[in-house]
Amino acid sequence: MKIKSFLSLALMALGVLSSSAQDPWLHIYYPSAKNFTQYDMNEVLDISFDEEAGTMTVNTEADGAQSISLGAIDRFVIGPNVCRIDIDTDLKTYDETFGYYYEGMPVTEIVSKTVYLDGTMTFNGRGIYEDVVCPVKIRGRGNSTWSHSKKPYRLKFTEKQKLGNIHKAKNLVLLANYLDGSMMKNHAAFAFGKVIGMPFINRSLAVDVYLNGNYKGAYQLTEKVGINNGSVDLSKEDEPNSILFELDTNSADEDEYPSTDSHYGIPIRIKDPDAPEDYAERETWLDYWRSDLEELFDAAATENPTKIFSQCNLETLVKYVMVYDIACNQELNHPKSVYLHKTIGGLWEFGPCWDFDWAYGYQPTYTKGQQGDSWWWNPVTYPDYENPLIGFGSSSNQGGNEFFYALCNNEVFLAKFKEIWDDFYQNKQAEFWAAFDEYAASMTPSAALQAGYRDQYVGWESQVETLRQWIQNRFDYINSDPNYGLWED
């Protein structure tokens, strides 16, 4: 009976896929998460089943007939495969001492965050999206994530490229999601932001990445944060009169023209655009924008909502904080990877939302009920989905917590938060979970393949389910908490 059901499933899947543009693949999953086999159905000559022997034989042009015991497998699925990105670079090796690449052995890893390596990118859309082959420059990226064995990458093209569902752009990012065994945390935040109408939310595409033929892992392709049509998409008229700042205790000192606000000591970095080259023009430009941003910090320091929301957009601030709240992304407290932008004559707008792997209960900085002198990864006496987004303690004077508490702890903010939250909780949860499930399903073959290479991704499906339950618990807690999980009284 099991073999007949396998066969029926295969025939049905083949019938569906043969009428679509998708390239069908045979994915074979085993009880051991480290075992996974897949075949391109375009290269399969035939599949036969021996009911008496309990076997399936897959016959391919390259490898001939391969017999598989149906009793040894968990399931097999005939369906689309995850998109694939191949980066083929020049045969050069990076010299860390002198900071350049030289002719040598084939590159097996990108080892610099500052020096680009030239190459060719081949994007295989698997029959779902258009294939793309183009020149590319690649380098490393990230802060803490750069120190891990699975590296995040930055891709730079000579012309704007359209890869899958991602916005057409000259610069894209490959997120490694090394700390995230579910590989869903960043996407979940993006999906929530889209559902509540947060502007300039990133898109996600699951991809398998190969560097010079070497498998690098399952990655999340997404847009690079910046003022461009793939991220902060402004009109041609507004773009020359706009700026995007990053508030970040890690990367602000990397800026060519770093600064710090006078109230909270928050490091400030110019993300986009580049400062003018002419010295006098540059100094005028820097003075203007620094002074303008300082007015927002001045307003926050008054804790007066009239003054605060004469400087920044109330609705986008609420939605921005809400995205962080549902993930309990306490990076706001430092802050790290916090973006805000403005066009001359307008208001400060928070966003885009970015960097959600250190969230959803992962090593929380602040825990519920321990807000005094105790902080930083304390034993959790409450479920971690009940932790406050914004925390305080004697060692927590990092600036971000005080800044966001000043912006948000007022009746105007909380009334708007309640309005948007109630609409989501009562009417839009199903839309969020549909987007969550769709992305999880799309990356299943990629996650199964990666589990054979990296132990932290073994049991990927259970990690997705754990994240799902955590998020639902967080939704319910925010809905019942008088402060919406933002802080403790």
Instruction: Please give the full DSSP string across 116-130, using - where no structure is assigned.
Output: -EEEEEEEE-BTTB-
Enumerate the β-bridge partners of residue 451.
none
CA pair distance 489, 479, nearest whole angstrom: 17
**Peptide bond between residue 199 and the one before it cis (omega within 30 degrees of 0):** no
CA pair distance 433, 413, nearest whole angstrom: 27
Q: What is the pLDDT of residue 376?
A: 44
CB contact set of 90 (below 8 Å; sequence gap of 6+) = 101, 107, 117, 118, 119
Enumerate the β-bridge partners of residue 340.
245, 350
Q: What is the pLDDT of residue 480?
A: 98
Structure tokens belonging to residue 458? 């073994």
Q: Residue 185: which H helix or E strand, with range?
A: helix 185-196
CB contact set of 378 (below 8 Å; sequence gap of 6+) = 367, 370
Q: What is the pLDDT of residue 387?
A: 92
In 3D space, the residue among 213, 242, 417 whose CA is nearest the CA of residue 343 turns out to be 242
| CB atoms closer than 10 angstroms to residue 235 | 9
Q: Is 388 exposed, middle or buried (0-12, 13-18, 19+ CB in 10 A)?
A: buried
What are 382-420's pLDDT values in tens digits? Answer: 788 999 999 886 545 579 999 999 999 999 999 999 999
Structure tokens belonging to residue 98? 């002198």
- Contact (CB, 8 A) for 113 and 94: no
Structure tokens belonging to residue 227? 């003022």
In 3D space, the residue among 291, 229, 287 whose CA is nearest the CA of residue 262 turns out to be 291
User: pTM of the prediction?
Assistant: 0.91
Report residue 430: phi and psi, to 5°.
-60, -35
List, in order of start, the domains of the chain with CATH numbers. Answer: 2-80 (2.30.30), 83-223 (no CATH), 239-425 (no CATH)
Q: Is 96 exposed, middle or buried (0-12, 13-18, 19+ CB in 10 A)?
A: exposed
Q: What is the pLDDT of residue 398?
A: 73
DSSP 42: G
Locate tokens 């966001």: which residue? 404
Cα maximum dimension of the chain: 85
Q: Residue 336: which H helix or E strand, with range?
A: none
Q: What is the pLDDT of residue 372?
A: 45
* Percentage of the chain lying above the pLDDT 90 cut: 70
The stretches in the chain having pLDDT less than 50 are 1-9, 11-20, 372-379, 395
Structure tokens belonging to residue 435? 């987007």
CA pair distance 420, 58, nearest whole angstrom: 53
Structure tokens belonging to residue 425? 């909780």
Q: What is the pLDDT of residue 378?
A: 47
Structure tokens belonging to residue 290? 């620094």
Radius of gyration of the chain, Cα coordinates, nearest whole angstrom: 25
Q: What is the pLDDT of residue 103?
A: 64
- Contact (CB, 8 A) for 155 and 173: yes
What are 69-126's pLDDT values in tens digits? Answer: 988 898 888 889 999 999 999 766 656 566 666 666 678 888 888 889 999 999 999 9
CA pair distance 61, 78, nearest whole angstrom: 18
Locate tokens 């007022």: which residue? 410
DSSP 149: S
What DSSP line would sit under 403-439, residue for residue?
Answer: HHHHHHSSHHHHHHHHHHHHHHHHHTHHHHHHHHHHH
